[in-house]
A and B are shown apart, each in its own frame.
Chain A
Amino acid sequence: KQEVTQIPAALSVPEGENLVLNCSFTDSAIYNLQWFRQDPGKGLTSLLLIQSSQREQTSGRLNASLDKSSGRSTLYIAASQPGDSATYLCAVRFTGGGNKLTFGTGTQLKVEL
């Protein structure tokens, strides 16, 4: 079964700290991987999309890496701010799984002053 797992489920850090969120997936045959942010009561905002041929993507203070062979992706957030507090979701489009994304359960991040 194609599954996506995110660790940790929750994380609390002081402002300014660099942090890493982890995502693992059970099948290395993927089309792409996408990181989303979800604020309470809101939909999902796309942060970064990594195609299967890519190793990483960067946007501002965010950097996402992809290692297909080990079934892992990490989202690195530099110099965290209270406004980064949200739930971060990893989603994988598996090859042969059609166009659907398979989501992890998310990491709930709190950045404290």
Chain B
Amino acid sequence: GAGVSQSPRYKVAKRGQDVALRCDPISGHVSLFWYQQALGQGPEFLTYFQNEAQLDKSGLPSDRFFAERPEGSVSTLKIQRTQQEDSAVYLCASSSGGGSPLHFGNGTRLTVT
């Protein structure tokens, strides 16, 4: 595709609900990242995939957060039993690997009420 696509663009969830956020990376990009960005802050790393392998999940804040990329392309970030502190913009980025630049999607703004 022309760029990284994320859906939905906005998501409002009641506390305790489960949510699933989708990322379509640039076609052929082997590396995929998820970041969390709180208001007024820089993005914080959550997890990294190389193809279908999740090589780093050190940034996931709790076991309520789960990410997958089963076929090495589309990725889903799932948050179970959402809490108010999960409210943030969730950004997905992809790259062709090595030291190449990251390309970001427009993010999903999650609001937990």
Contact = CB atoms under 8 A, between A and B. Distances in A.
Contacts of B101: 34, 46, 49
Given A32-B99, A43-B107, A98-B56, A103 B43 contact: yes
Interface string A41-59: 1111110010100000000
Judged by DSSP, the binding face of A is: strand
Given A43-B4, A43-B105, A98 B55 contact: yes
B56 A100 contact: yes
A34 B101 CA distance: 8
A100 B91 contact: no
A62 to B, nearest CB: 14
A46 B91 CA distance: 14
Interface centre among A32, A44, A51, A93 (most CB of B within 10 A): A44
Contact of A43 (B45, B56, B59, B104): B104
Contacts, number: 64
A105 interface: yes
Contact of A102 (B41, B45, B105): B45
Interface in A1-38: 4, 31-32, 34, 36
Interface of A: 4, 31-32, 34, 36, 41-46, 49, 51, 89, 91, 93, 98-106
24 contacts: A31-B99, A32-B99, A41-B106, A41-B109, A43-B91, A43-B106, A43-B107, A44-B102, A45-B104, A46-B101, A46-B103, A49-B99, A49-B101, A51-B99, A93-B99, A98-B58, A99-B31, A99-B50, A99-B55, A100-B45, A101-B33, A101-B45, A103-B42, A103-B44
